[in-house]
């Protein structure tokens, strides 16, 4: 068994519900208001750890808005280089200096729109865990791959490539998010039983790559059109340890219901 790094996990729960705001909040004030609202509905009785992945310009203000609530704040992407002539990029060091300890890696929008291939994803994961930060690695198949029945195959490849070179010890700072691309922002939530099957397959891949202990301990979130109406059935699946939520994380009341899922 791999002991979790509790400095990155202030709450002793197995479940992690995370909001990915993407490029949606348009101002410091909008992000801060949303962050404060989410933080105010988070309490000791919330059955999950909670994190918000915010746009880089709003990380500091979102951290201030959530204050000491226990809601964690992460970055949406960190380039793997520490410093240099990389116009427009944000480094792990930059966000770490703000007090941010987590970043998303390999979100399908990064892969499809910005060319983050498996090699780039792997560099970002290695960079983050090498610095003691946490990496939330997103994987998932496209619609065409889904229709060909390739979900498990694609996820296996993305895990193998994205986590190449990561040590068993570093896996304590890795969370996986299975996000079928065809379900993102479409209202088409993956059938929970199908998602469970892919999650179980991912866990078995991680057992082969690392150990059964890592596979048992790692948290695997589901993402893709999660809403207050779908969260309970998703969370009832044994291998689903939380949700990575896009659109519904932009509405505090919706995200509050997701945080307080019922099983």
Ligand X SMILES: O=C[C@H](O)COP(=O)(O)O
Query: Which residues form the interface with ligand X (CB under 6 A)?
Result: 20, 107, 179, 184-185, 223-226, 244-248
Can you name the residues that pair with 17 across neighbouring β-strands?
50
Residue nearest to ligand X (CB): 246
CB closer to ligand X, 93 vs 256: 256
CA distances from 62 to 57, 98, 113, 223, 254 (A): 9, 11, 26, 22, 18
In the residue annotation, 179 being an active-site residue is answered as: yes
CB closer to ligand X, 214 vs 248: 248
- Least CB distance from residue 247 to ligand X, whole Å? 4
Helices and strands in the chain, H and E counts:
11, 8
- Least CB distance from residue 163 to ligand X, whole Å? 19
- Least CB distance from residue 185 to ligand X, whole Å? 4
Catalytic residue among 80, 101, 179, 199: 179
Alpha helices per DSSP H over the chain: 28-40, 59-66, 92-98, 108-113, 118-130, 143-147, 151-162, 192-209, 212-217, 231-235, 252-259
**What count of other Cβ atoms lies within 10 Å of the Cβ of residue 163?**
26
CB closer to ligand X, 20 vs 237: 20
- Least CB distance from residue 85 to ligand X, whole Å? 30
Sign of CA dihedral 168, 172, 174, 178: positive
CB closer to ligand X, 215 vs 244: 244
- Least CB distance from residue 126 to ligand X, whole Å? 22
CB closer to ligand X, 158 vs 225: 225
CA distances from 233 to 242, 253, 255 (A): 11, 19, 16
Alpha-carbon distance of 142 to 45, in angstroms, equals: 37
Residue owning tokens 């990561």: 166
CB closer to ligand X, 21 vs 79: 21
Alpha-carbon distance of 121 to 258, in angstroms, equals: 28
C-alpha 116: how far from its chain's center?
16
Tokens of 70: 């226990």
- Least CB distance from residue 177 to ligand X, whole Å? 7
In the residue annotation, 253 being an active-site residue is answered as: no
Question: Residue 191: which residues within 8 A CB-CB, separation 6 or more?
Answer: none
Catalytic residue among 17, 76, 101, 107: 107
Q: Which residues are catalytic?
A: 107, 179
């Amino acid at each position: 068994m791999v002991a979790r790094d509790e400095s990155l996990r202030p709450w002793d729960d197995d479940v992690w519900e995370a909001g990915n705001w993407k490029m949606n909040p348009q101002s410091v004030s909008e992000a801060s208001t949303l962050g404060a609202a989410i933080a105010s509905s988070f309490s000791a009785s919330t059955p999950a750890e909670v994190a918000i992945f915010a746009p880089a310009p709003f990380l500091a203000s979102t951290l201030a808005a959530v204050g000491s609530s226990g809601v964690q704040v992460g970055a949406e992407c960190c380039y793997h280089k520490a410093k240099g002539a990389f116009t427009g990029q944000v480094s792990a060091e930059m966000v770490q200096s703000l007090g941010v300890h987590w970043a998303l890696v390999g979100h399908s929008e990064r892969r499809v729109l910005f060319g983050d291939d498996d090699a780039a994803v792997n560099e970002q994961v290695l960079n983050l865990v090498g610095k003691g930060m946490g990496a939330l690695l997103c994987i998932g198949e496209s619609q065409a791959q889904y229709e060909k029945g390739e979900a498990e195959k694609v996820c296996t490849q993305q895990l193998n490539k994205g986590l190449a070179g990561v040590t068993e010890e570093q896996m304590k700072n890795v969370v996986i998010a299975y996000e079928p691309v065809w379900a993102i922002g479409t209202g088409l939530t993956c059938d929970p039983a199908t998602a469970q099957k892919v999650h179980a397959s991912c866990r078995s891949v991680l057992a082969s790559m690392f150990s059964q202990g890592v596979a048992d301990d790692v948290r695997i979130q589901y993402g893709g059109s999660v809403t207050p109406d779908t969260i309970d059935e998703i969370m009832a699946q044994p291998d689903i340890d939380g949700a990575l939520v896009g659109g519904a994380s932009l509405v505090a009341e919706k995200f509050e219901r997701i945080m307080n899922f019922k099983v």
